[in-house]
Copies of this chain bind each other. A is one copy, B any other.
Amino acid sequence: MFSRVSTWLRHKPLRLSHFRSYSAPASRSDPPAKLKFIPSSGTYPKGFFTGSSHAGVKATNTRYNDIALVVSEQPCSAAALFTRNVFKAAPVHVSQTILQRRRDGFHGVVVNSGNANAVTGLEGSKHASKMASTADQCLAASFSDSIATSALPETPRMLVMSTGVIGQRLPIDPITAAIPEAYRSLGATHADWMSAARAICTTDTFPKLLSQAFTLPSNPAVEYRIAGMTKGAGMLHPNMGTLLAIICTDAKIDPASITQFLKCATDVTFNCISVDGDTSTNDTIALFANGAAAPAGADALAIPKDVSDLTSIDSTLTEDTRTFARVLTKFLTDLSHLVVRDGEGATKFITIRVQSATSIQAARRAASSISTSALVKTAFYGKDANWGRILCAIGYAPGIVDNPILEIPAGQADQVKPSETSVTLIPADASDELCLLKRGEPQDVDEGRAKQILQMEDVEILVQLNDADGAKSGSQYEATYWTCDLSHEYVTINADYRT
């Protein structure tokens, strides 16, 4: 499978020099408070190259790159998860089709920011296909003098993503003109990755890029790498946020297992963050694995068909599989947190941990409802320990209460016992925690101490649903969500987003 690419590399030395010629664009100025989240160097997976260019998708953008390419020189196994929104954007439909038709042999993804190409009718689908095929043509041009390909494949080898305003037609001509330019800029340095991470941003205030090395137990001498970029600052809620995320690794993953790896890791990371409760039309998270760091003959990481819990100790997973699942989950945790850190108008990073629930669903319903409550989020913005709103949000969570419109039957309420519920604020600096409600009884809260905790950028809300009998009743399920506060700036950003 990998031989074709080696051939390509062998035949394209001149083009490779192009990959390095990319120079970073004039960067938007990053907020000083966010600089700590922007890496100044990185370690990137072998055989992956990134590039970007300027198409001016948004008429007001005369300056910043808004086309990004992520390309593997070797064909990859790939997986992507998409928004559940009924009004899926055209690039979502097109990428889904590509993934279905072409089970392997992927080479990466082309992305535009500035326009979501969503709810754009038949023309929108043509535009998304055109983006994928234009990117594929760039690959074809590289391959043209190799033995591997001479004609364009029927199904593009590149996925496509768009992000930006919904319901406006994509300016396709400048985009198709800019894609070859992005291709020519491909490179593998930190600056190259950073420029692509910047090009996919919309209302983001800083680029979101992470990378790391890891090893697998069966052969600790081999170093693998994983890198990922993400964007998304609003219209952001589990299943999934308005976000794009692209993760690349040079580990070797079985094409039949890669979706399950991604799904398990996403479920407890990107599907547990919320900025504003709006689930967009475009959300896409893609994982590419090209195996470039794997020694010849190394087994691909695979998962038996009947295993869904990658953390289970009793499963038949190999140590390598288990290790990679842990690495991927931790990596997606860190990457997804960057999105929350840049939540539109966010001033706080709020961790919501719900414990001693009677089921994982109950824990997630409670955590999700808190994470989307406008009143909880404005209170945190105001540094106000208005914890009654936390309880309130648990108490009306769909699935915890019955709901005739959703046809959720009555009798759900036993998931939460008000008289057994406790709420505690956990400060970020490991100083003493502050109990607000203990088994249904409000505590005499030191408001000064509460204010002190709420001054911190990072705060954790710990909710115990069955504080009394967690251990003995088996009410031991828990869920963790991450969200930000709701500020004046959120309103400012979204009241006039299109201009």
Contact = CB atoms under 8 A, between A and B. Distances in A.
A396 B119 contact: no
A395 B166 CA distance: 13
A313 interface: no
Interface centre among A365, A418, A492, by most B CB within 10 Å? Answer: A418
Contacts of A365: 405-406
A392 interface: yes
A392 B437 contact: no
A406 B405 CA distance: 13
Nearest to A167: B388
A399 interface: yes
A119 to B, nearest CB: 5
A168 interface: yes
Given A278-B392, A405-B368, A379 B494 contact: yes
A261 interface: no
Interface stretch (A81-89, A178-186, A326-334): A81-89
B498 A386 contact: yes
A116 B388 contact: yes
A495 interface: yes
Contacts of A232: none
A39 interface: no
B395 A87 contact: yes
A116 B387 CA distance: 13
A381 interface: yes
Contacts of A393: 278
A391 B281 contact: yes
Q: How many copies does the complex hold?
A: 2
Contact of A442 (B169, B279, B403, B418): B169
Interface in A478-499: 486-488, 490-492, 494-499
Interface stretch (A57-65, A189-197, A370-378, A466-474): A370-378
Given A398-B406, A402-B84, A281 B392 contact: yes
A235 interface: yes
Interface residues of A, number: 82
A118 interface: yes
A166 B234 CA distance: 29
Nearest to A494: B378
A184 to B, nearest CB: 33
A379 to B, nearest CB: 7
A382 interface: yes
B234 A375 contact: yes
A251 to B, nearest CB: 28
A168 B388 CA distance: 8
15 contacts: A84-B402, A87-B392, A87-B394, A119-B392, A121-B419, A121-B442, A166-B391, A167-B388, A168-B442, A237-B396, A239-B403, A378-B494, A398-B406, A486-B491, A487-B491
The 8 A-B residue pairs with the shortest CB-CB distance in the complex, in nearest-first order: A166-B388, A382-B495, A167-B388, A87-B395, A378-B494, A279-B396, A85-B395, A86-B395
Given A281-B395, A384-B495, 16 more contacts: A84-B403, A87-B394, A116-B388, A119-B437, A119-B442, A169-B442, A276-B375, A277-B277, A277-B374, A278-B375, A279-B395, A365-B406, A374-B486, A379-B495, A384-B499, A399-B406
